[in-house]
Structure 1
Amino acid sequence: MYYFTGSVPEYDRIALRGAPTLAGLTSAPETVIWRRPASGQMAGHIWAPELHRIDGRWYVYFAAGDSDDVFRIRTYILESPLADPLDPAGWTLRGQLLTEWDGFTLDSTTFAHRGRRYLVWAQSEPEIAVNTSLYIARMATPWSLATKPTRITTPTRSWEIQGYRVNEGPAVLVRNGRVFLTFSASATDARYCMGLLTASANADLLDRDSWVKTADPIFVTSPETARYGPGHNSFTVAEDGVTDVLVFHARDYRDITGDPLYDPNRHARVQKLYWHPDGTPLFGVPVGDGGPIVRLSPGRHDFVRHDDAGVLVIARAPRDLAATQFRFEAHDGGTEVIRSVDRPDLHVRIDGPAVRLDPTPTAFRRSWNRHGVTIEAEGGGYLHAGHGTITVAPEPTTFRLS
């Protein structure tokens, strides 16, 4: 079962959805589990709820302002003992989550690692001239902290200080002997983006020196796919229980009228999370609308990609994920066309002996075997991998899809 929650456009309530598939969340009905009071504390902006299952109970961590100051944002907790979080009868307000300072606090997330539970959150620390930094502490209970906070990142790099100096929206994924912590930075318009912190799984996570920040952002606006300001992500797994999935929100337009905070169209989106051979995550670009995305592999660590000129070549473990991603789309007479993901206005086209991206597609047919697929051009010949390029040849190459 998948559950979903997020800020609603009115910033006045907390709603949940549930479905047995990720796609099912799109049309799943919403259940309102809590509404803000008419006035006073928590009667202002209601932001960024997160749902967690801890020790047999459900918890929602959320941020709320007050009616006389909607930006007096603090973190609060709802609790339900019921098995079904969609049952509103079980939810009660546990209270405020108190941190070291009584200041602007939001975007709390929690995770368990090596027998200990941690909280990571964004906060405005009085002595630091930034909007928010990220902090971590060990938890005593799901509603209280056992240790003082450790600041693990503060916005200093150019991509973290566009419009506002912000580190917020933490999310944790433990894989391959490391703890990966994504976060969001800058103003909530097209400049919003995601960064990455990494720690060894054996490290003291409360030690600031255990965390290394990747120098550049790892997920940014893509005008080509019309996804602007991706951020405040989380992680889940696909229905197979194995494939990692990135969940994030982004707009499908760049220009905003007025304050981007009140533009409600940062819609939730999901896409597959890939991995480098060294075990670090490979995010690519926020992909546009369309069907399933695949990578074509003629060898174990080889992938078909397009180069800067649009020619299809073979690359070993390329770090540019986006150039290796394609969509097979239905075409006339049972054929398919192959669309580039990061350049969605272009398709795979046979151009003499070469194969390249072009606005006008070639139609293909796929045939499956136990090793993968062969791809036959409608006019004859097969896609063939050899000598670092993709050509058309009488003999097919079998491509593995991933």
Structure 2
Amino acid sequence: MSFEISRRALLRGGLGLGGVTLLGGVPLVAHSATAATPLPTDAEVYGVPTTNPLVLNRADPFITVPTDGMYYFTGSVPEYDRLVVRGSSTIAGLSDAPESVIWRRPTTGTMGGHIWAPELHRIDRRWYIYFAAGDSNNVFAIKMYAMESTLADPRDPAGWGAPREVTTPWGSFKLDATTFAHRGKRYYVWAQAEPEISVNTSLYIAEMASPWAIKGEPRRISTPTLAWERQGFAVNEGAAVIIRNGRVWMTYSASATDHRYAMGLLWADEDADLLDEMSWNKSPNPVFVTNEQTKQYGPGHNSFTVAEDGTDVLVYHARDYTGYIGSDPLYDPNRHARVQKLYWSRDGMPLFGVPVGKGGPIVRLSPTDDKHTFVRHFAFVLSVAEDTDDLPLGDTQFRFVPGFAGAGTESIQSVNYPDRYVRVTATGQVRIDPFEAGAAYAGQASFRRIPAKKGYQLQLAGDGSKYLLHDKGALTVGALAGNRSIFELS
């Protein structure tokens, strides 16, 4: 009989000691005992699927919230010639779900140019898809359009009517429309090159008279004045809205579409007049940027959805390499759609962290004797820090991976420094250090995760008498010490 650690089953707490065989002090799960019981999915355990990338060669990704038990995905295709929709009962299932072409651009004339950034919205029990399109004689003469479907399934091309232009007071370059409802009103947000403003695009908001039209005077709520918004091009575009914690949060993307592309953040009080530009606050710094350690470049043009358990999910695109193929980043097909969990601080601010690289589920470790703190690394030394807006999310995120000390052990990989692993040095210091060959490092950087009340004990593989401990903000090792040696995973 063979054995393996059932990490997800242990994390869910679904297996008591009756379902676990102890072999040399290591909790193991027999294949034969669990063969009839499917393991829970990553989404069930961690809230968010861990497939990365989620959908290949799809930029400007948009995933709907669950509608009648289904998620629907759309995004820009590299050819910029059509609108596509795919659907699945899970976010993870969107990866290989069949894709339906619901509309193709004409070969000439109006809308015969670039087709960009579609979004699907359910409004008054009908589907609408908003997108931007250029003309065949000028692919960059971009305007905004909407289509309506009378069918319940937006993947069915038969339900979609002809595109209709959504007009604004100016006829200039405009794109990246989104819409959201708040306090009984529906709003439309888009990016446009206003003739009197010497930037490429700014963000505008207006109330909607119908799903096809705005009403009243648009208000400019953000323009690219900050240095990080003007790398290559002076751009604010790709807005996305999420309403949480008493505020209306709006992300947007800025700069050129290569590795310099990044996301910014606006917010307004939920009781404020959203059409008053003075209601909106703007972060002076980007909130989501290229990360050299995780090899994710140019993250941006995001949307938001919720996972099967209600967890907030960030949807975005990024490349796996710096630079781009060809003479223009717009024509590099390798911007892939990705998802990761969106966190919230104790003060109600969204925490984006870093664009994570390939790998399995991501967790944060919190000692049960102080649940408002998290294990974090700073200067590659681990400690336990208070959960505040100043605590970098990426410094508190880890992955459990197969242990260097062999079967029955796990190593703990840093998410924002994935070449480093939690290690207890010979002097007892707890660090994240690069992998080293040899038995000494393997024993110091491998653990056994043992279920305990409301969490897990992390036993050092190289010395079964020692466990990770929380000691007044420090992370140390020693004998079991009640709640100080138990960590919750979130």
2:374 paired residue among 289, 303, 312? 303
Q: Which residue of 2 aligns with 1:359?
A: 434
Larger Rg: 2
Q: Measure the CA separation in 1 of the matches of 2:363 and 2:247.
A: 26
1:191 paired residue among 245, 254, 260? 260
Secondary structure (helix, strand or coil) at the match of 1:333 reads: coil
Q: Measure the CA separation in 2 of the matches of 1:231 and 1:347.
A: 28
Conserved? CA contact 1:232–1:248, under 8 Å? yes
Secondary structure (helix, strand or coil) at the match of 1:223 reads: coil
Which structure has more relative contact order (CA 8 Å, sep 6+)? It is 2
Q: Which residue of 2 aligns with 1:62?
A: 131
* Letter of the 1:14 counterpart: L
Q: Measure the CA separation in 2 of the matches of 1:188 and 1:49.
A: 17
Q: Which residue of 2 aligns with 1:312?
A: 382
Q: Which residue of 2 aligns with 1:252?
A: 320
1:340 paired residue among 414, 436, 440? 414
1:323 paired residue among 384, 395, 417? 395
Q: Measure the CA separation in 2 of the matches of 1:312 and 1:252.
A: 28
Secondary structure (helix, strand or coil) at the match of 2:374 reads: strand
2:80 paired residue among 3, 7, 11? 11
Secondary structure (helix, strand or coil) at the match of 1:146 reads: strand
1:391 paired residue among 459, 467, 476? 476
Q: Which residue of 1 aligns with 2:207?
A: 138
Q: Which residue of 2 aligns with 1:373?
A: 456
Are 2:36 and 1:36 equivalent residues in the alignment? no
| Unpaired runs of at least 5, structure 1 | none
Deviations 1:231-279 (A, max 9, x none): 00000111102x1110000111002241111111111100001111110
Q: Measure the CA separation in 2 of the matches of 1:177 and 1:306.
A: 31
Q: Which has the higher strand share?
A: 1
* Letter of the 2:395 counterpart: A
Deviations 1:84-129 (A, max 9, x none): 1111110112410011111111000000000000000000100100
Q: Measure the CA separation in 2 of the matches of 1:251 and 1:135.
A: 28
Structure 1 runs (4+) greater than 6 angstroms displaced: none
Relative to structure 2, which stretch is displaced further, 342-351 or 86-95?
A: 86-95
Relative to structure 2, which stretch is displaced further, 211-220 or 362-371?
A: 362-371
Instruction: Report the alpha carbon displacement of residue 370 of structure 1 after superposing the two structures with TM.
Output: 3.5
Conserved? CA contact 1:168–1:183, under 8 Å? yes
Q: Measure the CA separation in 2 of the matches of 1:45 and 1:374.
A: 55
1:163 paired residue among 208, 229, 232? 232
| Equivalences, count | 400
Instruction: Report the alpha carbon displacement of residue 147 of structure 1 after superposing the two structures with TM.
Output: 1.6
| Unpaired runs of at least 5, structure 2 | 1-69, 436-441
Q: Measure the CA separation in 2 of the matches of 1:141 and 1:307.
A: 51
Instruction: Report the alpha carbon displacement of residue 73 of structure 1 after superposing the two structures with TM.
Output: 0.3
Are 2:473 and 1:401 equivalent residues in the alignment? no
Relative to structure 2, which stretch is displaced further, 372-381 or 151-160?
A: 372-381
Instruction: Report the alpha carbon displacement of residue 334 of structure 1 after superposing the two structures with TM.
Output: 2.3
Instruction: Report the alpha carbon displacement of residue 317 of structure 1 after superposing the two structures with TM.
Output: 1.1
* Letter of the 2:430 counterpart: V
Instruction: Report the alpha carbon displacement of residue 388 of structure 1 after superposing the two structures with TM.
Output: 2.0
Conserved? CA contact 1:78–1:91, under 8 Å? yes
Conserved? CA contact 1:94–1:143, under 8 Å? no
TM-score, with structure 2 as normaliser: 0.80
Secondary structure (helix, strand or coil) at the match of 1:83 reads: coil
Q: Measure the CA separation in 1 of the matches of 2:320 and 2:449.
A: 32
Q: How high is the sequence identity, in percent, across the aligned residues?
A: 63
* Letter of the 2:315 counterpart: V
Q: Measure the CA separation in 2 of the matches of 1:88 and 1:367.
A: 52
Relative to structure 2, which stretch is displaced further, 358-367 or 137-146?
A: 358-367
Instruction: Report the alpha carbon displacement of residue 296 of structure 1 after superposing the two structures with TM.
Output: 0.4
Q: Measure the CA separation in 2 of the matches of 1:359 and 1:145.
A: 55
